[in-house]
């Protein structure tokens, strides 16, 4: 070990206790920075809340780096800088979510009333106040339900194929790849496809059903992916235990694998519904709007009119308001947006609850 013996340590050994900022230092720094920024905003031409935030955060990052560098050294100050940046990144994402929610509630809550929820726009002057979204809620619920009735069984079956039968075969790999690719199909392209296929080629009229078909295309890959994940979680031992009892494969899947994964699959389907319930673009092309309550999703343009839906209703009211955010139509658009967000929020909340309840038991 001659080499080791003559060599000197590469870095001088320092004590274990490095210089460390006291715990009150950073809160004090925050206070100082806010005070400086507030002073500047009060005495100079700087203005605006957003500008204040940006200025204060930047100033804080600089101040923290300088203080930490002089007291703790380069590595600690870089570490602190990135720690703060991570927090800032998270706040940057939380900010729009909070602001969008707050603004939608603020703008939408004014028109919310039982009248708004339970009446349609039939015989209402679109430029004046009044009217409601009952017809749009009905349409959204029915169209989403139809899409789910199509996407859930097909999606679950396809997931069963991928997990239980596919086994890495080329065809299964192709299906799996295209499920991923299908997730990225823009909703307006799905709408155009159903338009070209269902309406132009097959000659059907625009209807709630046509919209549901496009929603089905958007929902299918979501359901397949989430169901696939859940089926993969079912332990192999369960299947083998069932096979060992002489139960055929299809009965094993139906009576052992599916029930085990059911809660997860239901959660996935509901999250899929939440994702499509707010889709607008395909419905604009395929359904259109209507001022009246229409329960029949098969009802086309001429007998008498297709269904409304919340997203198309919002778009329609936005158009009527022609950019005037004070117009009654704009208020109705916000009201409908609030209701739509609540419906979607409830759906995802229930989905998470289902997932959680079952996780505790299993």
Partner 1 sequence: MAKSIDVSGVDIFYGSFKAVEDVSMTIEPRSVTAFIGPSGCGKSTVLRTLNRMHEVIPGARVEGKVLLDGEDIYGSQVDPVNVRRTIGMVFQKPNPFPTMSIYDNVVAGLKLAGRTRKAQTDEVVERSLRGANLWEEVKDRLAKPGSSLSGGQQQRLCIARAIAVSPQVLLMDEPCSALDPISTLAIEDLISELKERYTIVIVTHNMQQAARVSDRTGFFNLNGVGQPGRLIEMDDTQKIFSNPSNKRTEDYITGRFG
Partner 2 sequence: MSEQPTLGGATTPSVDRPQASNISGASVRPGDRVFRSAALTAGAIVLVVMAAIAVFLVYRAVPALRDNTANFLTFQQWFPDNDPSTFGIGALLYFTVLTSVLAMIIALPVAVGIALFITYYAPRRASQTLGYFVDLLAAVPSIVYGLWGFAFLAPRMTGLVQFMDKYFGWIPLFDYRPTNVPNNLSPFTASVILAIMILPIISSISREVFRQVPREQVEAALALGATRWEMIRTAVLPFGRAGVTSAAILGLGRALGETLAVTLVLSTAYEVSLHITENGGVTFASNIALKYGEAGEVGTGALIASGLCLFVITLAVNFTANLVIRRQRSA
Binding-site string for partner 1 from residue 57 to residue 76, where x marks contact by CB under 8 A and - marks none: -----------------xxx
Total residues binding partner 1 (CB under 8 A): 18
Q: Which is nearer to partner 1, 23 or 323 (CB)?
A: 23
Q: Which does 314 bind (CB under 5 to 8 A by kind): partner 2, partner 1, none?
A: partner 2
DSSP 279: -
Residue in 65, 76, 119, 205 binding partner 2, rule: CB under 8 A: 76
Would you say 131 and 121 are in contact if contact means Cβ atoms under 8 Å apart? yes
Binding-site string for partner 2 from residue 277 to residue 306, where x marks contact by CB under 8 A and - marks none: xxxxx--xx---------------------
Q: How many residues does the chain have?
A: 362
Would you say 17 and 72 are in contact if contact means Cβ atoms under 8 Å apart? no
Smallest gap, in angstroms, from Cβ of residue 281 to partner 2?
Answer: 4
Tokens 């658009």 sit at which residue? Answer: 333
d(CA 132, CA 127): 13
323: left (phi over 0), alpha (psi -120 to 50) or beta: left
Q: Which does 92 bind (CB under 5 to 8 A by kind): partner 2, partner 1, none?
A: partner 2
For the chain, percent helix, then strand, then coil, each to nearest 5? 75, 0, 25
DSSP 202: S
Would you say 181 and 171 are in contact if contact means Cβ atoms under 8 Å apart? no
Total residues binding partner 2 (CB under 8 A): 106
Would you say 194 and 126 are in contact if contact means Cβ atoms under 8 Å apart? no
Say whether residue 193 binds partner 2 (CB under 8 A): yes
DSSP 234: S
Q: Which is nearer to partner 1, 22 or 235 (CB)?
A: 22
Q: Which is nearer to partner 1, 26 or 124 (CB)?
A: 26
Q: Measuring CA to CA, which residue among 254, 255, 266, 265 is closest to residue 232?
A: 265
Q: Which two tokens stand for residue 108?
A: 């939408």
Say whether residue 329 binds partner 2 (CB under 8 A): no
Q: Which region, judged by CB under 8 A, interacts with partner 2, from 24-32, 57-65, 257-265, 310-318?
A: 310-318
Q: Which is nearer to partner 2, 68 or 120 (CB)?
A: 68
Say whether residue 232 binds partner 2 (CB under 8 A): no
Residue in 11, 43, 44, 114 binding partner 1, rule: CB under 8 A: 11
Binding positions for partner 1, rule: CB under 8 A: 1, 3-5, 7, 9-11, 13-18, 20, 74-76
């Amino acid at each position: 070990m001659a080499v080791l013996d003559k060599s000197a340590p590469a870095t001088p050994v320092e004590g274990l206790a490095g210089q460390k900022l006291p715990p009150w230092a950073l809160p004090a720094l925050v206070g100082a920075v806010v005070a400086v920024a507030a002073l500047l905003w009060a005495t100079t031409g700087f203005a605006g809340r957003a500008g204040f935030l940006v200025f204060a955060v930047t100033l804080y990052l600089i101040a923290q780096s300088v203080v930490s560098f002089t007291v703790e050294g380069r590595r600690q100050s870089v570490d602190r800088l990135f720690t703060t940046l991570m927090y800032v990144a998270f706040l940057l994402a939380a900010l729009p979510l909070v602001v969008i929610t707050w603004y939608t509630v603020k703008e939408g809550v004014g028109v919310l009333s039982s009248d708004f929820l339970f009446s349609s726009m039939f015989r209402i002057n679109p430029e004046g106040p009044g009217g409601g979204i009952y017809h749009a809620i009905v349409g959204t619920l029915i169209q989403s339900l139809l899409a789910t009735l199509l996407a859930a069984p097909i999606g679950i079956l396809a997931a069963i194929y991928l997990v239980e039968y596919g086994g890495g075969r080329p065809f299964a790999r192709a299906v799996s790849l295209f499920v991923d690719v299908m997730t990225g199909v823009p909703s307006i392209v799905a709408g155009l496809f159903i338009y070209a296929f269902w309406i132009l080629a097959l000659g059907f009229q625009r209807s709630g059903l046509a919209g549901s078909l496009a929603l089905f295309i958007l929902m299918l890959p979501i359901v397949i992916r989430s169901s696939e994940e859940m089926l993969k979680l079912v332990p192999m031992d369960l299947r083998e235990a069932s096979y060992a009892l002489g139960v055929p494969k299809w009965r094993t899947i139906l009576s052992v694998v599916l029930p085990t994964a059911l809660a997860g699959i239901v959660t996935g389907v509901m999250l899929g519904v939440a994702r499509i319930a707010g889709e607008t673009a395909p419905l604009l092309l395929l359904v259109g709007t209507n001022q009246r309550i229409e329960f029949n999703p098969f009802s086309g343009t001429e007998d008498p009119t297709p269904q409304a839906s919340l997203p198309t209703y919002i778009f329609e009211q936005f158009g009527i308001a022609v950019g005037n955010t004070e117009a009654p139509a704009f208020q109705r658009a916000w009201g409908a947006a609030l209701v739509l967000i609540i419906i979607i929020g409830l759906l995802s909340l229930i989905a998470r609850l289902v997932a959680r309840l079952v996780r505790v038991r299993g």
